[in-house]
Structure 1
Amino acid sequence: MTRIAVYPGSFDPLTRGHLDILQRSLGLFDKVIIGVAVNSNKALLFSIEERIDFIREATEGWANLEIDTFEGLTVDYCKKRGAKSIIRGLRAVTDFDYEYAISLMNRKLAPEVETIFLMSSNDYSFVSSTIVKEVARHGRDVSAQVPEHVSKALLNKLSKGK
């Protein structure tokens, strides 16, 4: 039996923290599907195509990885794809409170799908897409927090708005 997990998120933009969680989860599962969520309630900076391209370029050559998009509830997507686990990264206690509530609801909706929490590495415990966008919005270098190609795209997109 193949152990499949879904690592869902908006990845707007993809950070080195996301990549750290992804790489570590690949060691735990036979296959990890990065599920780029289509979320109309979020104000997104990058299109779904741009976000997928960022992930594809950053993970080129990584085995047992699939990139996909989905709408709706993550547990429904997991059931559709045959995944028994949802991967979530935790940076701090505030992440845990939010993610724990979601995991309890997911368990009610799909008891066969487990949520697996992975703690962020120390190097990325403060990194969030929101913070990265804010720093880049002020013209500051974020290449330590995101892959180089993402950093360039961020600065390019945000400088056009000025």
Structure 2
Amino acid sequence: MTSARLTHIDDTGQAHMVDVSEKGDTVRIATATGYVKMHAETLAMIQDGNARKGDVIATARIAGIMAAKQTASLIPLCHPLMLTKVTVDIQADEELPGLRVAALAKLKGQTGVEMEALTAVSIACLTIYDMAKAADREMEIGGIQLATKSGGKSGDFVRNQSP
């Protein structure tokens, strides 16, 4: 772990938005992952398309994409970004049991897209919970984490998957 200083706190301890105007445009990509653990019966209901609120996976995918585009409105000090790509992939995992969510956010710009990828995963997971909660209130949302990032001065990051 590195001991970098917090970029959103100035010398007097006040929070501020980082000035990125002097940074060059680079292609920046971030991926994030998370999961919603549920009863096996709930997973089967979702996979069979029998959720009362409709297509859980399609709705969660759209919610995640929309959330990535709204990150600056949701999280103080985030820059509004012109995203060029956002994807949200949701896959069943019988061993969990539940749904695994992965998001990718991309742009060519002056600041990274980690928060957009993390927001996409978070909101997709919350949407899954909302749409299936009538069947399973014991669902668990977890494991939300940055998986990779590339571009920018700080270089690339790939999460170490070892325990």
Name the TM-score, length of structure 2 as normaliser.
0.26
Query: Which is greater in Rg?
Result: 2
Instruction: Return the structure number with greater helix share.
Output: 1
Query: Relative contact order: is structure 1 or structure 2 higher (C-alpha 8 Å, sep ≥ 6)?
Result: 2
TM-score (norm 1): 0.26
Which has the larger strand fraction?
Answer: 2
